[in-house]
Structure 1
């Protein structure tokens, strides 16, 4: 076998082109203006296609726009001069309300009148029933038919209900700032119609306003006449009621009332005097009736004879007491004195009874007089109460009559004001400028709209590109794994077609220069440089998922190492889906599966390819019901070291097999293949966490698009 060693110049050129500087300084992810331009450059095809599609979608709508003309009239509404006069006989008109006048211009009656006078129902522009059904409208009706209740949609070509919304969309009625000017504008494809509608609207408005005011005044006048007649009847009824009650109640003058009050006062005074006399008589009678046979206590109010008789009795009693002290109880003088005392007492009692009888009779006479006074006083109070009630009722009737008269006066005043308002207008209307036929359409042409649509499409496309860029979680460089831990970058492999892949694996001329060959040499050089200047004795090539190019890289590394004079042992360690045997035409012999199942030894499974000079071990056939002894993998490594061979394991995907984890722990170094712009960062980080027991891991980006990769401004790049 002839081995051609590559020149030092070619190897250094390969490292310079495809390998990145080993010392990597972490840099923060910043989004500045330069980054934004790079995103636009990277997503330029997407932006261009999206912009073209959106602009093409908007083009039919823009080119379908018809030119429209706008006519505008100006109308000024102002309060009349009579509104500023302060005259009570003319009345004051209603205050000017521009909002109400604007609503009058937009009222249903005014709208129907304008539509009828100008025959808008016969124009396709305002009558949807006359328009051709567009594809979108047909689709909308078809979709509605799938969900309706089966009732047919009413078709009314002459229905004004479908014309009014179109009319209002073209019409604009607004106040000009804070002034009393109202601007009336109308848009139409017909310039003459655009001027005719505002003028017709003003005419219909003025006519309707005059008719409305006239009808309002007539209705108000009729109502006032009716109310005035009713109120006059109530006034007459109130006055008649007051007069009738005055005749029925009699005199309720103030003099009669004062006389009754004086009479009641005099009767009250007489009654009070009688009651004082009665109290004195009762006290006298009570004094003439002592208890337990004692002498009555006579005062000054008693007759003088009774007083002398009482004093004589006291004197005789005192003399009797002295005689008893001198002579004793049975002395003649004592007995004689007691007889005189009994006689004097008998006379005194008879005199007291006579006086008491006279006083009792006098008391009865006083009681009779007091009762008579009380009855007279009660009658006088009743008369006064009836007089007060009559006076209050009469006052109420008079007030009611006055209220009805006041209401009648107000109605008459209202009638005078109404007559004044009928004479003078409530609002003065002045047409400042009627609408004239517009000469040029309003708005811009189709070209500005197309430019605006293009700019909007570009904005949407750029936004979508930024969103796509932010949502892109795939890897394009090892720089994006700087926070994953201990990694070494092992270069980039450009994207190549199937023909280039077959040509690279054929290796008919090991010294041939070219992009793929130099990329593989750069990977070898990067591994050697990171490994102290020598290639590892054992190496595992794996990836996060299947289909990312790990088998291609393993074969390419083996071919490159073999072309430089290394002895290489390539092992197909993907025991389920490995294709190394087919690539080397190994047939159906024994392989790694039989070796791990202890059904074959190393000498039986190692094959040799003469053209490349590579020893290889195919995966063999699965051995059911026989557990694999993964400890025998170390025997393969030891055999390669003993033969001075570089052992390269083409392992299964790291996230799908535990074999890769075991191999990473046995071999010296591990190469993780990442497919450019396809493999997700989380998947690569998860794979790295599984195989990091092997120490630092080499990361190789496969199927790199050089031109697009250069737009990302990573430290590793292809030239």
Structure 2
């Protein structure tokens, strides 16, 4: 905390004083810590120890080997082992029925641990009297045991697995291990019993269904036989009827007969064509293949050989040769006759094939009509067969399921879909209380609370608070002329104590100087003693000498930083010249690390032109007209780290209609920035009063070229309006008078 607010000085927290206060009371802190730790140690020893034991179950499908060959896992069994299925098994282990069965088997109602009325505590009796707890005597014994059991039981699923843990807490080691094992045993028996009951119920339900289906199948098959007999749909061994099979055979035979007839006609025509054209019959297959023709050909060949042999010794007119030639002629006549017989045989064969074809065609037409009628009758037959097949298939399915269910009715044929992978054992160490951790935590908590109490006492008593006296950064005042030493005034320090920058010592930052206080004779003496040393330094470094006071921009910047002024209105009666000094003031303050924003309320827009990146940027008039959001009106200065709120591009007349919002805008900027400068150009006191409350703001007159009479008149006007915090800013140090020119008196700058 730093700065002034009214007449109260800000204070800082003395951390060293806080630690010293704790050190002074170290005996009390240590005694409290030891006492609380000892009390926690004793209480932990007095508490009855509790023991935890855990059993674990693995949920998995389990089927006998003889059934795994025929059964396929169903979708229901697959979904029973997913995440929701395991959660359901956890709830089953926490079910009231299972807990009641465990309590009955282990006779837990006889144990005092499960009966809160057996050994009631004073705290419990007080809570019952106040109505904050239900009286255990109002509950039946079974419900009391159930409530205590559920408080000590913890059933959970091991993360990312199908393992379920059963943990129980008890004062008895053996009981802590026996209860999880008993729960696992009863759970497995319940699961196996559920599967056995399911198989028994399935067998009991399937027996009458199978008997009913057998009657239905028998009736359906009888209907099929009666329908076949009435419709003359004799089975042919295949899928079709007898008429269909006969039609198929006749069609095949008709095609064969037609082929044979066509072949016979072609062979007869070939023989006939050969005889009519006079070609030799030797080239015809039908003639050559005849046995008679072959024998006649052999005889013809022998006679021709004899004629050839005798022609060498006998003449043609010899009776022997004539007789042989006569025999040759007879043989050839026989060959022609045999050829005619072959032709006639082929023609007869063709005629027989034609007759056979006619008969088969007639039979096929008759069978077509019969087959069409049989096809219509088969529609009803197929409907009956489908119904019988469906009943038969359902019967076979039921029979298969019945055999499977019957095979699982034994106690060992339906194991539970879970098994114990870790049995609970009697614990050797108590799970509660952990004496050493409890003692350490209690002691540490007592130590911290004791320290906190001491700190609060020191803070509320004010002993740990001290006035602010830390060094404050001030802006650099550039000077070029030496200044003679000025004697200290006898009167008290003025309202503001002005400072100027000294040359930093080796190793020190040039930005860190000490602001002189305005009260106390000791400080005045110390300042007077420091003047000769300062004069010596000024003789060695005349370029670093600065004036102690004056109407310079640098001095006004120093005052704004030292007093931590949040808001200042700058009035420039001279117009743009004064606005230029306002821009220089904003940049000087920003160079010292302060967050500065300048609001341009001038008509000429001089500050906007000197600071903004470009012309035509939205600004204060746009905010008043509510055309843009707040952030769009803030723009960076192109010459420093300061910000500028330009005059804006909205219609000034429209913006003036909502001029009352300007004060809220200025207050919002004051919360976000260390210093808000408002350039009001040549506004009078009445105009400034509309923008800010009287008495709590700083008024700066930027008057680079104003006569003394006009200056007095302007100051008087603002003073009569109630503004008593007024500063004058005439020029920069670069424009100050040359050497040997009298400097402004220290008291002149406060109007």
What's the TM-score once normalised by structure 1's chain length?
0.37
Between 1 and 2, higher relative CO (CA 8 Å, sep ≥ 6) is seen in 1
What's the TM-score once normalised by structure 2's chain length?
0.36
